[in-house]
């Protein structure tokens, strides 16, 4: 859907680098999570993708074609849901939807159908005639989402769409996003809630300091980040001789007593065999053994900690 090559963006003088030679691919039909700490460049990247901000250098392709010169056509295929409640609180939900449908160029004959469909998707049909100012936080988020869907976009850009709402509303919105994605809409999703991204996104990019430090399919990335890590916890601290043997195999104690050990290895079976042999001989009881994928939060924090000196590209 989007292909980005060497994208850079600087602001002001002296130039402040917001994006630095970003290469990124957002596959059609994906549910793409964009993560990064505050000030990492997520908003700038998203703004350039949808044509709100101009780039300093690089290329952005949409559907295989350069965006330059066909911005208006591209925008018609994008639904943008900003983090703020970008609608009119003094108007009712229906009036808001009617206005944005007309502004989006939805033909008059189709407007009511689209409004009903979007209200149905977001569960607002019972509340459409209330002023939006009287909506709860969750309902406001859903109205924000409904407006982004009015013109049946092929791409939906969601900027922190679940900020400040209760668990029930969050669950509702996440389910709808997954459902929309299943219907074929490409979703670009930014959030600070890593568990949300892990839960719903199938692709991921992590941006830090204006550079993409990681991108690819979610499962592959999680596995890759934890692929070589074997973590062992013994029921009791092993004797010094056993610990020395394990250390000779490459295990590193992760606590003072050596009860928790870890080993980075691409060959898990061989490492497990060596571990079993040493533990068996010493009569050590293995309480827990874990190899491979961890959760996204752990991986993300690990990645950002390491990013000060290392930048990885998939």
Partner 1 sequence: MSKITALVSKELRLLSRDWQGLAVLFILPAIFILIMSIAMQEAFGERQAVRIDYLLIVPTTTEVSGEFVRALREHPVFRPQLVTAAELPASTSSDEQAYAITVRLADDFARRLPLSDRGAGEPPLLTVVLAPTVKPYVRELLYATLRQAAVKARVQQLFGTALPPGMQDLDAIGAVSVQTRYGIAAPGATLTAGRPEDTIAPPTAVQQNVPAWLIFAMFFVIVPLSTTFLSEKQQGTFLRLQLLNISPLQSLLAKLVPYYAINLLQLLLMVAVGRYLVPLLGGDRLNWPSSFVGLFLIASAVSFAAIGFALLIATLARTSTQATTLGGVFNIIFGAVGGIMVPKFVMPPVMQRIADVSPMSWALEGYLDVFLRHAPWSAVVPESLALLGFGGAMLLLALLLFTRAY
3-state DSSP assignment of residue 61: strand
- Kindly state whether residue 90 participates in binding partner 1, applying the rule CB under 8 A: yes
Q: Quickly tell me which residue has 């610990």 as its tokens.
A: 243
Question: From the CB of 217, what's the least distance to partner 1, in Å?
Answer: 28
Q: Please, which residue, 151 or 211, has the CB nearer to partner 1?
A: 151
Q: Please, which residue, 153 or 238, has the CB nearer to partner 1?
A: 153
How far apart CA 195 and CA 290 sit, in angstroms, is 20
Structure token pair of residue 124: 């607002």
The residue count for binding partner 1 (CB under 8 A) is: 27
Question: From the CB of 46, what's the least distance to partner 1, in Å?
Answer: 11
Q: Which of 234, 285, 231, 283 is nearest to 257 (CA)?
A: 234
> How far are the Cα atoms of 74, 197, 206 from residue 19, in angstroms, in the given order?
22, 22, 13
- Kindly state whether residue 217 participates in binding partner 1, applying the rule CB under 8 A: no
Neighbours of 36 (CB within 10 A): 23
Q: Please, which residue, 156 or 275, has the CB nearer to partner 1?
A: 156
Using CB under 8 A, which of 2, 32, 62, 87 touches partner 1? 87
Question: From the CB of 21, what's the least distance to partner 1, in Å?
Answer: 26
Q: Please, which residue, 76 or 154, has the CB nearer to partner 1?
A: 76
How far apart CA 191 and CA 63 sit, in angstroms, is 25
Residues 41-80 as x/- pattern, contact with partner 1 by CB under 8 A: ---------xxx-------------------x--xx-x-x
Question: From the CB of 83, what's the least distance to partner 1, in Å?
Answer: 8
Q: Provide the total of helices (H) and of strands (E) in the chain, helices listed first.
A: 11, 14
- Kindly state whether residue 91 participates in binding partner 1, applying the rule CB under 8 A: yes
By the 8 A CB rule, do 92 and 131 touch? yes
- Kindly state whether residue 154 participates in binding partner 1, applying the rule CB under 8 A: no
From 81-89, 189-197, 234-242, 293-301, give the range in contact with partner 1 by CB under 8 A.
Answer: 81-89
Q: Which of 202, 207, 164 is nearest to 24 (CA)?
A: 207
By the 8 A CB rule, do 133 and 149 touch? no
Question: From the CB of 58, what's the least distance to partner 1, in Å?
Answer: 21
How far apart CA 183 and CA 186 sit, in angstroms, is 9
Using CB under 8 A, which of 11, 84, 267, 288 touches partner 1? 84
By 3-state DSSP, what share of the chain in percent is helix, strand and coil, each rounded to 5?
40, 25, 35
Question: From the CB of 165, what's the least distance to partner 1, in Å?
Answer: 17
- Kindly state whether residue 308 participates in binding partner 1, applying the rule CB under 8 A: no
Q: Please, which residue, 144 or 242, has the CB nearer to partner 1?
A: 144
Using CB under 8 A, which of 147, 165, 230, 275 touches partner 1? 147
Q: What is the DSSP letter of 92?
A: B
Using CB under 8 A, which of 17, 86, 163, 237 touches partner 1? 86
Residue 24, phi then psi, degrees to nearest 5: -155, 145
Q: What is the DSSP letter of 239?
A: P
Question: From the CB of 11, what's the least distance to partner 1, in Å?
Answer: 14
Report the interface residues with partner 1, using CB under 8 A.
Answer: 50-52, 72, 75-76, 78, 80, 82-88, 90-91, 95, 99-100, 102-105, 108, 147, 151
């Amino acid at each position: 859907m989007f292909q980005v090559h060497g994208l850079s963006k600087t602001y002001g003088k002296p130039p402040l680098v917001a994006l630095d030679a970003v290469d990124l691919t957002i596959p059609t039909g994906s549910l793409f999570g964009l993560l990064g700490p505050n000030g990492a460049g997520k908003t700038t990247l998203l703004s350039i993708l949808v044509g709100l901000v101009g780039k300093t250098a690089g290329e952005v392709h949409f559907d295989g074609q350069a965006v330059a010169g066909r911005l208006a056509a591209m925008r018609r295929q994008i639904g943008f849901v900003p983090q703020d409640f970008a609608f009119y609180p003094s108007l009712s939900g229906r009036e808001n939807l009617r206005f944005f449908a007309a502004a989006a160029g939805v033909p008059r004959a189709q407007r009511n159908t689209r409004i009903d469909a979007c209200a149905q998707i977001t569960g607002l049909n019972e509340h459409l005639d209330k002023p939006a100012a009287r909506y709860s936080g969750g309902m406001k988020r859903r109205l924000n989402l409904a407006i982004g869907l009015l013109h049946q976009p092929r791409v939906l850009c969601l900027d922190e769409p679940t900020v400040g709402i209760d668990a029930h509303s969050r669950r509702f919105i996440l389910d709808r996003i997954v459902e929309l994605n299943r219907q074929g809409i490409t979703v670009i999703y930014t959030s600070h809630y890593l568990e949300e991204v892990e839960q719903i996104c199938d692709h991921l990019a992590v941006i830090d300091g204006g550079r993409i430090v990681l991108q690819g399919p979610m499962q592959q990335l999680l596995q890759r980040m934890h692929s070589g890590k074997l973590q062992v916890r013994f029921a009791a601290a092993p004797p010094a001789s056993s610990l020395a043997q394990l250390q000779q195999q490459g295990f590193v104690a992760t606590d003072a007593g050596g009860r928790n050990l870890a080993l980075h290895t691409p060959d898990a079976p061989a490492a497990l065999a060596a571990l079993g042999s040493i533990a068996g001989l010493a009569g050590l009881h293995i309480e827990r053994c874990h190899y491979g994928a961890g959760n996204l939060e752990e991986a993300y924090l690990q990645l950002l900690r390491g990013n000060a000196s290392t930048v990885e590209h998939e």
